[in-house]
Amino acid sequence: MNGEIEQQIQQLRQQLQEASYAYYVLDAPIMADEVYDRLYRDLQELEFDYPELITPESPTQRVGEKPATQFYSVKHNIPLYSLENAFDLAEFTKWQERWQRVAQSQSLGANQGVEYVCELKIDGSALALTYENGVLVRGATRGDGISGEDITQNVKTIRSIPLKLNLDNPPPIVEVRGEAFLSLAVFEEINREREKAGEQLFANPRNAAAGTLRQLDSKIVDKRKLDFFAYTLHFDEPVGAVDGAYPPLPTDEGNHGGIAPTENQIAPGNEGKTQWESLDLLQRRGFKVNPNRQLCYSLEEVWEYYELWDTERRNLPYMTDGVVVKINSVLLQKQLGFTQRFPRWAIALKYPAQEVPTIVEAVTIQVGRTGALTPVAELKPVQLAGTTVSRASLHNSDRISALNLHIGDTVIVRKAGEIIPEVVRLLPELRPSHAQLFQMPSCCPECQQPVVREKGEAVTRCINTSCPAILRGSLIHFCSRDALDINGVGEKLVQQMVDHNLLNSVADLYDLTVERLMNMERMGAKLATKLIGAIGNSKTQPWPRVLYGLGIRQVGSVNAQLLTERFSNVEELAAASAASIEGVYGIGPEIAQSVYQWFQVPANQSLIERLKTTGLQLKSEVKTQTTAKNNLQLVGKTFVITGTLPTMKRDEAKDLIQKAGGKVTNSVSAKTNYVVVGEDAGSKLEKAQSFGIQQLSESELREMLEQP
């Protein structure tokens, strides 16, 4: 019977993987959404009934069930270097002269007939993906180029990254490098949601992509719809086998061993003799590769490509900040090698930033949910990077003072990351005689109460807890997707409810009734009932989300998770000293002081007492103290898990080890301290035995975790 079930599961996975590849990589759907959803549910149900048949590459395993507690540093097999930049033709020509001198000194004979591959430089975040026997086992950030952070669970949420390579007989280790990014449409959608929630906007898609990849909760990452373009393919020995070693790159002798791989196989030495072939191979094996690449036969052709995309990039659905130029021959790449920081065989041609002059017609003040006053320049509308710009943030009073800004000044505006307009500088020689010096207000424009600027801060704040702007921002944040996730309650509805005196605090949400909501304009019984239901559903949201929803300064979703793992209920956190809060792993003194002071405010104390009566989850089901700095018994220890454990999934064991301060890697090396062994352990166990590494059963691991 199990054999039939296993076959059924494999068939479902194959269908889903093919549909996902067609949709996310080829942009050519082969299956209706409803059919995909039904097949996905069928697979979920089978895996629920037969958990022993769940594998890491299953489509159901893209999103983790539990948030991570922190990320761990991992060493790259091959250094993940950044590229040298060139900003004009002269710098680009100097790059060519430099690598040609190196080639000449080594008698490489490579100064004639050199081909270049030009690819768009995607404005995102670099990733290194490691596949063992064809299965994705690790995704890491660039970091410092030598080591990055292991963000595997987040990487798995990116649908354009295959969990399993499209190969019949994959090499033991394959590493793929590429760029994770957000499309402009998705980026704008994320910022709209953040604006509604009263959260700080991402400055550009690159920052948004990087911030998303470092989210501890992979469910949040999944919602943000990251994409991925692959651009490099490597083969290597198992992770950790040779520290910092370079892999054997392909040579003119072809693939190793003299056996030609079949259409659906690749072997070391056959990953492509050229960069162009490698890109083609990546695309045929399930990866998304940027289609706007070009093979060029001279520097003149390279420059033509650069000038073309300097214009055409504004029509792309994603951000590109330049062109990456690589020597096509992989053999020549290997021979030229690297400087201490960059590869000699590649360079990034960066686009110039677009700047335009315009006039500051006024400065308005926005008040955020934390009371922060943000000055905004109201500009004479101007065209910039394909859009009309009429407003730009001035950040704070220090920035205004540094500019010596007057109303009527002519300023230079550019788009930071070509998305967020910013004032770069002003042109004082064009200042009109009627220009007036702008000064930050001494009272809040919303409530007219005095504002303060605390020592050491650049931000001016309103500290009136009854300020309408703070109330609106707090309500929007409390209902936002990452907090209580109250569907249907957005900025406009919050404003409407505040105007009708229905809400004076977040606790008032839970006193609303259908009848009271129907007193508002355009609010029928059906919509009112739906909203009351959504508010009621929020009572099941866990304690970390509730804490985040309170809007305490400097407490984002990550810090809320850390705090609630140490303080299992709101009473414990409210009674904690600043020193005790700072004792939580990952919480610094400023955050600790902010949390402590929030709970000392009488109005906040009253709010907590009211929230206790609503049925909200203000406590955790199980108290853990593994995040306390003095209770991390596995700090400095590295574990590898192999085989099927009797009662725990691998992710559960990994989570327990990481919460106790240990590190879990995917491959055995001389630096591994323990190997946790289950049934059907494979080559990892054999390698551990060869190194003499201590083996642990599941029960022995539990005993180790329970030790004080």
Range(s) of the domain holding residue 608: 543-612
Contact 199, 258 (CB under 8 A): no
Stretch among 92-96, 128-132, 244-248 having the lowest mean pLDDT = 244-248
CATH number at residue 391: 2.40.50.140
Amino acid at 295: L
- The CB-side HSE value for 488 (13 A sphere, CA atoms) comes to 16
Confirm whether 626 is domain-assigned. no
- The first and second tokens of residue 406, run together, are 């007057």
Euclidean distance between CA atoms 349 and 306, whole angstroms: 8
178 sits in which H/E element: strand 173-181
pLDDT 10s digits, 168-227:
788 889 999 999 999 999 998 888 888 777 777 777 788 889 889 988 888 889 889 999
Euclidean distance between CA atoms 546 and 637, whole angstroms: 33
Confirm whether 562 is domain-assigned. yes
Confirm whether 76 is domain-assigned. no
Our count of domains for the chain comes to 6
Q: Are residues 228 and 343 located together in one domain of the fold? A: yes
Q: Please say if 121 is a catalytic residue.
A: yes
Q: What is the mean pLDDT of the chain?
A: 82
- The first and second tokens of residue 36, run together, are 């995909």
DSSP alpha helix (H) spans, 480-588: 491-499, 514-517, 525-537, 543-549, 557-566, 570-575, 578-582
Q: Are residues 90 and 20 located together in one domain of the fold? A: no
Residue 651 has pLDDT above 90, yes or no: no
User: For residue 326, what are the β-bridge partners?
Assistant: 117, 346
Q: Are residues 441 and 492 located together in one domain of the fold? A: no
Handedness of CA 440, 442, 445, 446 (dihedral sign): positive
pLDDT 10s digits, 360-394:
999 999 998 889 998 999 999 987 765 678 998 88
Confirm whether 74 is domain-assigned. no
pLDDT 10s digits, 259-288:
233 344 444 444 568 999 999 989 888 899
| 38/232: higher pLDDT | 232
Q: Are residues 603 and 645 located together in one domain of the fold? A: no
Q: What angle do CA 172, 337, 320 make, to 5 degrees?
A: 80
Euclidean distance between CA atoms 265 and 359, whole angstroms: 61
Residue 153 has pLDDT above 60, yes or no: yes
Residue 655 has pLDDT above 90, yes or no: no
Q: How many residues can be counted in the chain?
A: 708
User: For residue 675, what are the β-bridge partners?
Assistant: 640, 695
Contact 100, 344 (CB under 8 A): no
* Residue of 121, 196, 663, 687 marked catalytic: 121
Q: Are residues 699 and 560 located together in one domain of the fold? A: no
pLDDT of residue 229: 96
pLDDT of residue 689: 76
Strand 372-384 and strand 125-132: the pairing is: unpaired
Euclidean distance between CA atoms 567 and 583, whole angstroms: 11
Euclidean distance between CA atoms 6 and 8, whole angstroms: 5
Residue 452 has pLDDT above 80, yes or no: yes
Contact 183, 320 (CB under 8 A): no
Q: Are residues 557 and 604 located together in one domain of the fold? A: yes
- The first and second tokens of residue 333, run together, are 């790449």
Contact 604, 598 (CB under 8 A): yes
- CA-closest candidate to residue 567, choices 586, 599, 541, 544: 544
The burial class, CB within 10 Å (0-12 / 13-18 / 19+), for 338 is: middle
Q: What angle do CA 418, 421, 426 make, to 5 degrees?
A: 120
Q: Are residues 111 and 169 located together in one domain of the fold? A: yes
Residue 536 has pLDDT above 80, yes or no: yes
Q: Are residues 597 and 657 located together in one domain of the fold? A: no
pLDDT of residue 353: 66
Residue 445 has pLDDT above 70, yes or no: yes
pLDDT of residue 572: 93
pTM: 0.49
pLDDT of residue 256: 28
With a pLDDT cut of 70, the percent of the chain lying above it is: 86
Q: How confident is the model at residue 437 (pLDDT cuts 50, 70, 90)?
A: very high
Residue 562 has pLDDT above 90, yes or no: no
Amino acid at 172: P
Residue 121 has pLDDT above 80, yes or no: yes
Q: Are residues 512 and 553 located together in one domain of the fold? A: no
Strand 294-296 and strand 372-384: the pairing is: unpaired
Euclidean distance between CA atoms 77 and 244, whole angstroms: 6
Euclidean distance between CA atoms 122 and 255, whole angstroms: 31
Q: What is the DSSP string of 415-444?
A: EETTTEEEEEEE-GGG--TT-EE----SB-
pLDDT of residue 441: 93
> Is 564 in a helix, a strand, or coil?
helix
- CA-closest candidate to residue 646, choices 702, 580, 578, 583: 702
> Is 399 in a helix, a strand, or coil?
helix
Confirm whether 18 is domain-assigned. yes
Q: Are residues 399 and 441 located together in one domain of the fold? A: yes
Q: Are residues 400 and 327 located together in one domain of the fold? A: no
CATH number at residue 564: 1.10.150.20
Give whichever of 72-86, 392-406, 635-649 has the largest mean pLDDT.
392-406
Q: How confident is the model at residue 629 (pLDDT cuts 50, 70, 90)?
A: very low
Q: What is the mean pLDDT of residues 427-442?
A: 92
> Measured in Å, how far apart are the chain's first and last C-alpha atoms?
45
- CA-closest candidate to residue 483, choices 201, 155, 196: 196
Q: Are residues 153 and 296 located together in one domain of the fold? A: yes
With a pLDDT cut of 90, the percent of the chain lying above it is: 36
Residue 474 has pLDDT above 70, yes or no: yes
Q: How confident is the model at residue 409 (pLDDT cuts 50, 70, 90)?
A: very high
Residue 448 has pLDDT above 90, yes or no: yes
CATH number at residue 52: 1.10.287.610
State the CB neighbour count (10 A cutoff) for residue 497.
22
Residue 417 has pLDDT above 80, yes or no: no
Confirm whether 697 is domain-assigned. yes
End residue of a domain, out of 330, 350, 370: 350
CATH number at residue 642: 3.40.50.10190
**Cα dihedral 473, 476, 477, 480 in deg (nearest 10):** -160
Contact 419, 204 (CB under 8 A): yes
- Helix 205-213 and helix 184-196: axis angle, to 10°? 70
Confirm whether 393 is domain-assigned. yes
Confirm whether 460 is domain-assigned. no
